């Protein structure tokens, strides 16, 4: 039978006596990580590159995904990347030596969807009877592996999909079940016509038979979903339902959730080569890196991260769950709450709440981000012209890289500002602002 929510723990604790345990089996299973997408839904932070290379706590988020898989026992990773970005990715990760894993690169010539990404890795999977597939931004991916592998062993499944209940099934790929089997995967069903509330979370345990079947299907936007629907008519495709949160980044505001997950695990660590004023107040745990400067009467509340050469100016407050990346500066009298300030961004005086400020932005004095609706209800944002529920009741703004903002500018909750914009003094941002737009 399909396990009820919460029962995935039983599979992690129980190892089969007649089959190799997950601990042994995982060493022979390659993990395919799909990192070649266009990241269009990640605007405005996709302007300067692939979203999985966005820095959080001094490292690209893909590094956390890889490390999570390695901690679980994965020995080989096949990284599917866009051909034009191969030098960038190799520069970050090399062959995987620093992460203690073997990394191979599969090049996707065009971003033709998940199916094409998986097929791009086909040459590396010929000798692997089974393999795992993940999205690049699933930073806690490894936490699912003991459960998934034990489930496949004990249920003798051909393929396993990981599913989680959602209150908005019309937004996702939804599973239709018959007893313990998946009988259909319906992509974004019409509201009220969804076969269940169980969505696919982007973790797939596949095999070589499916890979061959996938390669025979016509190229299409939903080729993976169509292929799974055809394959499950012949073979046993099961779903493992989980109540565990998958920490990933589909939209730009999801980086706040990624940040929180990573900060929750940090030790207290202050570099001897950082400069911390005697009057500053530091509340652990806080990571303060080499060359960072904490000014007079500044307050830093943990968990928080202050990267190399970052600045928390005099009388500024960095509240819990905030991160200043490499060279980021919040100068005198800035109140930062639950925000991510990306490399090289400069701000001074104002309130930055539940927001993300892009690389190399320059923001004038008295910048204010409204981060709550007056009625305290969920905040919506617009992506690709579509109204999107963020799932957040506290969300300020996301500002793209290299944008310049004048003094006394304010933003309404959930509004996105593009890259390379110029916003004049005193403006109130009530709607999204496109890349390279000037507002006076």
For residue range 77-99, list pLDDT tens digits in order: 999 999 889 899 999 999 999 99
pLDDT at 220: 81
Report yes or no: 1 and 84 within 8 Å, Cβ to Cβ.
no
CA 72 to chain centroid: 19
Please state, as a whole number, how many other Cβ atoms lie within 10 Å of the Cβ of residue 261: 16
Q: Which of 226, 250, 274 is the last residue of a domain?
A: 250
For residue 422, the domain's CATH number is: 2.160.10.10
Yes or no: say if 172 and 157 are a contact pair by the CB < 8 Å rule.
Answer: no
| Residues of the chain above pLDDT 70, percent | 95
Helix or strand or coil: residue 365? coil
Closest CA to 343 of 355, 331, 333, 356: 356
Asked whether residue 146 carries a pLDDT value surpassing 50, the answer given is: yes
Identify whether residues 231 and 298 lie together within a single domain.
no
pLDDT at 17: 40
Q: Tell which of 233, 250, 267 closes a domain.
A: 250
Whether 195 is covered by a domain: the verdict is: yes
3-state secondary structure of 385: coil
For residues 277 and 387, state if they share a domain.
yes
1 in a structural domain: no
Q: Which domain holds residue 74?
A: 8-250
Contact 33, 121 (CB under 8 A): no
Report the domain count for the chain.
2
* 183 and 298 share one domain: no
| Rounded Cα–Cα distance for residues 43 and 49 (Å) | 11
Do 166 and 281 share a domain, yes or no? no
3-state secondary structure of 420: coil
Question: pLDDT by residue (tens digit) across 244-264?
Answer: 888 999 999 999 999 999 999
User: pTM here?
Assistant: 0.92
Exposure string for 180-210, b = 16+ CB within 10 A, e = fewer: eebebbbeebeeeebebebbbbbbbbbbeeb
- Torsion, CA 269, CA 272, CA 277, CA 282, rounded to 10: 10
Contact 47, 400 (CB under 8 A): yes
pLDDT digits (tens, 9 = 90+) for 372-423: 999 999 999 999 888 999 999 999 999 999 999 999 999 999 999 999 999 9
Same domain membership, residue 125 and residue 48: yes
Report pLDDT digits (tens) over 179-191: 778 999 988 888 8
In a domain, 2, yes or no: no
Is 371:354 a contact under the CB 8 Å cutoff?
Answer: yes
């Amino acid at each position: 039978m399909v396990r009820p929510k919460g029962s995935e723990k039983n599979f992690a604790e129980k190892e089969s006596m007649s089959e190799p345990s997950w601990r042994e089996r995982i060493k022979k299973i390659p993990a395919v990580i799909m990192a070649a997408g266009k990241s269009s839904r990640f605007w405005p932070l996709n302007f300067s590159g692939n979203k999985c290379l966005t820095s959080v706590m001094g490292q690209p988020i893909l590094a956390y995904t890889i490390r999570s898989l390695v901690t679980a026992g994965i020995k080989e990773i096949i990284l599917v990347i866009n051909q034009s970005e191969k030098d960038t990715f190799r520069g970050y990760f090399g062959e995987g030596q620093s992460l203690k894993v073997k990394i191979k690169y599969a090049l996707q010539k065009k971003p033709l969807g998940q199916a094409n990404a998986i097929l791009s890795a086909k040459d590396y999977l010929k000798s692997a009877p089974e393999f795992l597939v993940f999205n690049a931004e699933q930073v806690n991916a490894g936490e699912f592996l003991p459960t998934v592998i034990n489930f496949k062993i004990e249920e003798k499944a051909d393929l396993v999909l990981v599913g989680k209940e959602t209150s908005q099934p019309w937004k996702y790929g939804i599973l239709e079940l018959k007893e313990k089997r998946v009988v259909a995967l319906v992509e974004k069903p019409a509201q009220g016509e969804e076969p269940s509330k169980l969505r696919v979370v982007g973790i797939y345990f596949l095999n070589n038979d499916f890979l061959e079947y996938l390669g025979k299907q016509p190229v299409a936007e939903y080729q993976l979903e169509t292929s799974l629907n055809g394959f499950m008519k012949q073979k046993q495709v099961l779903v493992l339902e989980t109540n565990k949160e998958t920490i990933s980044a589909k939209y730009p505001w999801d980086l706040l959730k990624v940040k929180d997950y990573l900060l929750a695990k940090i030790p207290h660590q202050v570099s001897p080569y950082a400069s911390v004023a005697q009057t500053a107040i530091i509340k652990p745990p806080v990571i303060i890196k080499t060359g960072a400067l904490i000014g007079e009467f500044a307050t830093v509340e943990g968990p928080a991260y202050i990267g190399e050469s970052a600045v928390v100016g005099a009388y500024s407050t960095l509240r819990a769950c905030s991160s200043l990346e490499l060279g980021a500066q919040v100068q005198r009298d800035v109140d930062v709450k639950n925000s991510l300030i990306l490399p090289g961004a400069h701000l001074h005086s104002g309130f930055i709440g539940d927001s993300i400020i892009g690389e190399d932005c320059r923001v004038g004095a008295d910048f204010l981000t409204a981060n709550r609706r007056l009625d305290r209800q969920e905040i919506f944002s617009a992506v690709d012209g579509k109204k999107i529920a963020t799932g957040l009741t506290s969300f300020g703004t996301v500002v793209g890289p290299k944008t310049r903002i004048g003094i006394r500018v304010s933003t309404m909750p959930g509004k996105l500002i593009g890259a390379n914009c110029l916003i004049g003094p005193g403006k109130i941002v009530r709607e999204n602002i496109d890349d390279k737009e000037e507002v006076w």
